[in-house]
Amino acid sequence: MSIPINVDVLNEAALLLDRDAYLTDLLSRVTTTKSDGWLQDLRDGAVNWVRHSVIPNTREEEWRFTDLSALKQVTFNNVETFHGTSLQSMILPEVSQRLVFVNGVYAPHLSNITDLPTGLIIGNLDVLPGEVIREYLAQAEGAKEVFTALNTAALNDVAVVWVGKNVVVENPIHLLFVSVSGESAIISQPRCLVVAESNSQVTLIEEYISSSQNEGVYFNNGVTEIWVNENAQVSHNRIVREGAAAFHVGKTAVTQARYSRYNCNAVTVGGKISRHNLEILQTGEQTETTLNGLTVIADNQLADTHSALSLNHPHGVSKQLHKCIIGDRAHGVFNGKVFVPKLAQLTDASQLNRNLLLSSKSRIDTKPQLEITADNVKCAHGATVSQLEDNEIFYLQSRGIDENDARKLLVNAFATEIINFIPVASLRESLLRTVTSLTNK
């Protein structure tokens, strides 16, 4: 007996797949080289999710200030790897260990993973057995967000930092992602996995930078997963200095076990459109989370920071300070969420967004946000928007400083509060020079 086929059901199922032609085109350009069974299963699941998804638009609450229509107008091609890239201007002299990825592809000849302390493992996906990696890779909350799933669908390699139990890493580790644009627009999708086992400590410099020789169009879609286990400490410094025509979407997913400490210093000073999704999940009591951020944009740049901190257990402490310096016709966005459910009693959380507008046509959309159902907590949030004060400029002029230098001094002082948290002196100086050049346009 033949079974009748419901054509309407089939048509409906077909509509659910490949809902977004642009995403489908990006998927068609994905090439993978590693064929491990578990890795392929991971990619296949992500491909299926992307095929059911669409590129976010301004009708969605989380994206209503960030218009990605300019991204959808660009056709991105396969990654081109440039082995001749010079790192001389990108090397941090104080940092000896580094992993370098060029257009998302691991470059061992540019990396340095020698003289590692006992218990520290850094490298690419090959440095640890698959059964160890698979416990953590793509297992953090938010794995089904469309850009995160797109990154997983294209997963070829990973920058891996594994800090063993009771290991204290004295010197920072530099994770350097270099973008070198070619004749056509390219997409690269770098991935980081950081695991700090119990009682360990490590400092990371995660940096995205454009090659100085090229300022072409490219798209960086990066994902970093950080697992901070019991009583471990991770100091994470995330620097984005993309080219002027670049698109950057980054996800940082952090999972904190009890008694752990996580500190993030995030600085964004480049890119035509940049977005950073910072998501932190507390899985045990008495965690400490410190988030410091700085965005400096000019011209017609758009920079968006969305953070979400879920404090699900008692005695959590979090502090967040995010600053924006916005010039010309640039547009800054900040949306910070702190969730404190009923179980998270005795939580102490504070959040502040401070914004400095350097032009009458610059714009900021800010929404610090607390969602609290616990009844025994100490929480505060706020936002300020200001311009350079005439009386401050006049005071400096009265001390013999001309107007332009006075403005530069005030802007640099505003930025320095965040830049000073960066633990590497040469990087602090470089960032301050970049801030000065952007704000002097």
Interval 61-88: pLDDT, tens: 999 999 999 999 999 887 655 655 667 7
Residue 7 has pLDDT above 60, yes or no: no
CA distance 324 to 274: 13
Average confidence score pLDDT of the chain: 91
Q: What is the pLDDT of residue 215?
A: 72
Q: What is the pLDDT of residue 12?
A: 47
Q: What is the pLDDT of residue 426?
A: 95
Residue 3 has pLDDT above 50, yes or no: no
Residue 9 has pLDDT above 70, yes or no: no
pLDDT tens digits, 149-196: 999 999 989 999 999 999 999 999 999 999 987 778 989 999 999 999
CA dihedral 46, 157, 27, 153 (to 10 degrees): 0
Place of tokens 């090229």: 214
3-state secondary structure of 15: helix
Q: What is the pLDDT of residue 106?
A: 92
Backbone angles phi, psi at 331, to 5 degrees: -135, 120
pLDDT band at 1 (very low <50, low <70, confident <90, very high): very low
Q: What is the pLDDT of residue 428?
A: 96
Q: Considering only 16-30, 137-151, 163-177, 257-271, which range has the smallest mean pLDDT?
A: 16-30
Segment 338-356 shows an average pLDDT of: 97
pLDDT band at 89 (very low <50, low <70, confident <90, very high): confident
Tokens of 133: 């990696």
